[in-house]
Structure 1
């Protein structure tokens, strides 16, 4: 981590992660920092500093960093250690193209299998999403997490576990980007209502078990993201 960009935690807030699955907890914390914008593209991840901040040994930190690399979020640089990757606009575009290839199919299979009870659960998630998105002051992380919950509550019904894992990895790859991108998508009341309407259209297709319509809607909405990526690389780095 660069000397001018250190994550500090108060004594009361310092989290001592003591658990049999410490690497997973460390990874969760790193993902949280990425989503909160405390870690940005290109930031160096120092094993000893992270171990001190989280109150754990270096071993779970190393394992967590290895898992972060597997997710495509970090990379090992010779003689420099581990750092978070730098996504170009074309990288973001390619990730969305991959999502467009996978997500409509997961949605199609889910639509054919979804039960009334699962639709009711999805309706509740959608209600919570509407509440979050319509707040006067948006929390970008909260919006992202609820949106993710909504989408994966659909995809996991498909039973296509390997494909869902690939989709999750692609979403993880976009974690830096989504924090700011999500804010830009929600910068007006009209844009917020448009995203709510997207979710509602998925629900309508699921209720009628119209798998072709749902796949078409998901593909069209992802194509919109591909066509209009509000990308300014400077926003993803610490000054």
Structure 2
């Protein structure tokens, strides 16, 4: 009988460790974005980053490609890789597009959701609560878990093309949302509000109330739009 056990030789082990290095660098770059070490629009010098982190240029390039895929960086001809610059108008337009699309897929998800989907969503929400209740709050974990929650809902819709567009919008907003998340977690009222929002979405899904879910998402995004319109601090980072 053939064994299913997989063994790894030394070269494969080294390759696996090398493959994880760009992810570690990517995580570090995201930390630097959130603590203000790297700022919006800043050029990302591969050689300088390699020197600072004590690694070769190859994993730095791979990490920068990861930043680009996430919408945090962009490659500019004759300049190189730099962090994105989002104007207030950019952010407003993206939120307005989200307001048009996300309630649509959430409404469809409400019609498709199963008991298994609800259990998975509640587990994601529980993990989210644990993250925001940690003594040392982590804005990056908060952002990623919030994203996981929303797309766990949207994916149930089966509207893959629309979900792909929404994901692209979230990618473009990643820089803004990381900075926003860093400040939100300093405010316990803000944390409680987000937890309540997520729970209200789950309650609407459980009740099969697609209209309520659509209205809740529209209202939440409308408040974000209103807040962004009145705020300018994020755009001078």
TM-score (norm 2): 0.77
Residues of 1 paired with 2:108 and 2:40: CA distance?
Answer: 35
DSSP-derived class of the 1:44 partner: coil
Pair 1:116–1:54, CA change in 2 (3 A): farther
Alignment match, 1:219: 218
Alignment root-mean-square deviation, CA:
3.1
Alignment match, 2:30: 34
Alignment match, 1:90: 89
Aligned length: 219
Pair 1:35–1:212, CA change in 2 (3 A): farther
Alignment match, 1:4: none
Residues of 2 paired with 1:17 and 1:173: CA distance?
Answer: 34
Structure 2 counterparts to residues 5-154 of structure 1, below 5 A: 18=15, 26=22, 29-30=25-26, 33-34=29-30, 36-37=32-33, 39-49=38-48, 58=58, 69=68, 72-154=71-153
DSSP-derived class of the 2:137 partner: coil
Name the larger-Rg structure: 2
Residues of 2 paired with 1:55 and 1:131: CA distance?
Answer: 34
Alignment match, 1:10: none
Alignment match, 2:233: 232
Deviation at 1:189, TM superposition (A): 2.5
What's the CA shift string for 1:92-122, capped at 9, x where partnerless? Answer: 1111111111111111111110100110111
Structure 2 counterparts to residues 201-216 of structure 1, below 5 A: 201-216=200-215
Structure whose residues are more often helix by fraction: 2
Alignment match, 1:199: 198
Deviation at 1:49, TM superposition (A): 5.0
What's the CA shift string for 1:159-194, capped at 9, x where partnerless? Answer: 112222221221121222112212333333222211
Conserved 8 A contact 2:50-2:56: yes
TM-score (norm 1): 0.76
